Amino acid sequence: MHHGNGTQDFTVLDPDLFYASTHVGYGFYPGSGHKEEEEGREGRLVNVPFREGEGSSQRFRQAWEKEIFPTLKAFEPELILMSMGFDAAREDPLGEMELEAKDYWWLTRGVMEVAREGGKEGEGEGEGRKCKVLSVLEGGYHLGALGLCGVAHVKALLGLPFDEGAGEETGVEEEPLEALHLLPPVVDREEEELLERMAGVSLDGGKERG
């Protein structure tokens, strides 16, 4: 929902940083995130503001497909930090972007695909491009939507499909991408167990599939 003005300020200090944001702008707090702010930082700063009530899955995805993802790929990132604000969900009391859980899955999967192509080519034999992804939980004020969108996001991070029929809904293959290396879990749980448990979570109300 909100523009990351503090994060964007780092692009002034460091020319090796890229920042992109979809958010509610045009006076919405904090009042930053205008297209004009990209001047002098083209190719490493992309702002796509929406007016209150004008957000939708289609507009959101178009913004990333046409403006953000192409610019991010050209930047060849070596590390991607995701500020996951779930207050853009349809059910959220502050939400004006009307996003669904599948939109968060779609966005995260797209970021993971960029990560596989990003980074600089390795110099040693067998070394390909290297880019890692780190996600940080941010806004979200409807616990139900926060839970569903959070699960969708983590599923995409793990290379799991959104749900049964996700391929038809998103236009991408149903076969999950191979998950990138995960950081050590914050709880005492093996990665294989986490993958197995996440694969059994349905996003149609939180029930597990048999």
Q: Is the per-residue pLDDT at 98 higher than 50?
A: yes
Per-residue pLDDT band for 9 (boundaries 50, 70, 90) equals: very high
List, for residues 156-183, the tens digit of each pLDDT value.
999 999 974 444 343 444 344 444 444 4
Q: What is the pLDDT of residue 190?
A: 59
Q: What would the pLDDT profile of 32-75 be if each residue is shown by its tens digit? A: 999 999 998 999 999 999 988 777 899 999 999 999 999 999 99
Task: Say how far apart CA 144 and CA 123 lie, in whole Å.
Answer: 46
Angle (CA) 140 158 123, round 5°: 115
- The pLDDT value recorded for residue 35 is 92
Contact 18, 81 (CB under 8 A): no
Rounded Cα distance, 10 and 13, in Å: 5
Q: Looking at residue 53, what is its pLDDT? A: 76
- Highest-confidence range of 62-71, 130-139, 191-200, by mean pLDDT? 62-71
Token representation of residue 90: 């349809």
- In terms of average pLDDT, the best of 23-32, 47-56, 69-78, 118-127 is 69-78
Q: How confident is the model at residue 122 (pLDDT cuts 50, 70, 90)?
A: low
Percent of the chain with pLDDT over 70: 73
pLDDT attached to residue 120: 63
Q: Please report the pLDDT score of residue 130 as a whole number.
A: 79
The DSSP-derived string for the chain is ----HHHHHHHHH-TT--EEEEEE-TT-TT----GGGGTT-TTTEEEEEE-TT---HHHHHHHIIIIIHHHHHHH--SEEEEEE-GGGBTTSTT--S-B-HHHHHHHHHHHHHHHHH-SPBPSSTT--B--EEEEEE-----HHHHHHHHHHHHHHHTT--SSTTHHHHHTS-SSPPPPPPPPPPSSS--HHHHHHHHHTB-TTTSPBP-
Give me the chain's average pLDDT, please: 81
